[in-house]
A and B are shown apart, each in its own frame.
Chain A
Amino acid sequence: MMTQLQAQDCVNCTPPVYDPAPEWPIEYITVKKVDYPRNEKASFCQRPPEIVDTIVLHHTETPSTKNALYINDLHLNRGTAADPWYMVAYSYLVNAPYPKESVPQSLVSEGRPIDIVGAHAGSNAFVTMDEEQTKAYADGKITCGKEGSVFKVDPTIVRGNTIKANVTTIGLVVIGNYAPVSRQNPGGYSPRNPRYPTKETQDMIARLSCQLQKKYPRMKNIRWHSNYNSTDCPGSIKNYVGQIVARAEELGCKFN
């Protein structure tokens, strides 16, 4: 690691260069950082990323040509004036290639930082806490507040030995509409032309999931939105979780 140069050492030199610790122990896929506008008046919760044990798959239900900033913009409009959303609800957004319909190249964008609780599984969904998650909550490590305020423990995020599913999961969303057309989803695919996650899409999800597990070894489960709520999300993607898990195994990761 390079050390910081002292001011008196620096004559006509460029600013000091730091060698930061690598963000990912193993990089299976490049994750793009996005500078999102946020709503500083919104409340949100923080958590130690180490308590996250589950990746929850979603689809945005938008056209696949949209990008992470567009989803952030929509999510900044969600909620109410008194209780608005903080920023994009998912932790990772995947622009997956799809014939004739997608952005030119595949792209993974970071969404809500992993130490900030997401808003994706459903605020009414609770899951049983394991020992470490129970301890993190009891130790006051999961706290809520607004930017610039004191963060406090919020007792409403737990019920007995369960906790809001959003606290112990991250949302991984594929940008696109993978459910069939219906009255609830007029932009869905035609039954004559079903849409499914391509091999490349499956590979992108597997690489990202594996990369996350290498950094956070407790992240051992892959689930999908309809495991937590009555919804069509993530459409046909849920039928390919077996293939995604198998691909992740080829990369050296084990998911339940």
Chain B
Amino acid sequence: MQIQLIVLSLLLCFSVIASDESEMKLLFTRYDQVMSSLSDQVEDVFSKKFLEENGGKEGFQEKIKGLAKSNFKSMPVAKDLSFKKGVKSDLYFAKYTEKRTEKSLKGSHTGSQFIIVREDGKLKIDGTLSDGE
């Protein structure tokens, strides 16, 4: 009976991790689309607080307009997503690093930690934090 309970809780734990992972991947796929101005579903990606702090939906979209026109847009990019749950609160820290494959830009950027919260049942980006350690 005890073994069954342990197996059941392990299975539950694994399924929660797997669902978090797929949800996180989906969030960053949407993030890429928004940041490339290929989608205007900003509210699906960012928390209400983040948007308030960044000039509202229109203000934020205006701010990121230039990113889509970046000189580096056409370069092949390798992306790497990893995340950890917060130690004390129900939030996540995600690292989403890009590695440009052109010779002159080889090497990865340490990047920031994305702060991810759950809002209205969905994972959303609440901001970033400079990465230290």
Which residues of A approach B to under 8 Å, CB–CB?
A: 39, 58-63, 65, 73-74, 76-81, 84-85, 89-90, 118-123, 171, 173, 181-187, 190-191, 225, 229-234
Given contacts A181-B67, A187-B53, contact A78 B87 (CB under 8 A): yes
B131 within 8 Å of A by Cβ?
yes
Fill in one digit per residue for B6-21: 1 if any A CB lies within 8 Å of its CB, else 0. 0000000000000000
A191 x B133 contact (CB < 8 A) = no
Question: Which listed residue (B97, B109, B129, B133) contacts A62, Cβ 8 A?
Answer: B129
Bound Cα distance A120, B131 (Å): 8
Return the contact of B125 from the options A80, A181, A186, A230 (Cβ within 8 A).
Answer: A186
Chain B hits for A120, CB < 8 A: 132-133
Most buried by B among A173, A184, A191: A184
B56 on the A face (CB < 8 A):
no
Q: Is the CB of B132 within 8 A of A119?
A: yes
Can you list 11 contacts pairing A with B, beta carbon distance less than 8 Å?
A76-B88, A77-B88, A79-B87, A120-B132, A173-B130, A181-B63, A184-B128, A186-B50, A190-B63, A230-B107, A234-B130
Interface of B is mostly: mixed
Given A77-B93, A231-B109, CB of A60 within 8 Å of CB of B46: no
CB-CB < 8 A to B64: which residues of A?
181, 186
- Nearest B residue to A183, CB-CB: B35
B128's partner among A61, A81, A121 (CB-CB below 8 A) is A61
- B109 near A184 (CB under 8 angstroms)? yes
Q: Which listed residue (A58, A62, A73, A183) contacts B127, Cβ 8 A? A: A62
Q: How far is the CA of A62 from the CA of B87 in the complex (A)?
A: 20
A39 touching B87 in the complex, CB below 8 Å, given contacts A61-B128, A186-B125 = yes
A240→B89 CA distance, assembly (Å): 36
Contact B87–A60 (Cβ < 8 Å): no
* B-chain residues with CB within 8 Å of residue A79 when the two chains form the complex: 87
Q: Which of chain A's residues has its CB closest to B64's CB? A: A181
Evaluate contact between A74 and B110: CB separation under 8 angstroms. no
Known A-B contacts A63-B53, A77-B87; A231 and B131 likewise in contact (beta carbons under 8 Å): yes
B129 in contact with A184 (CB, 8 Å): no
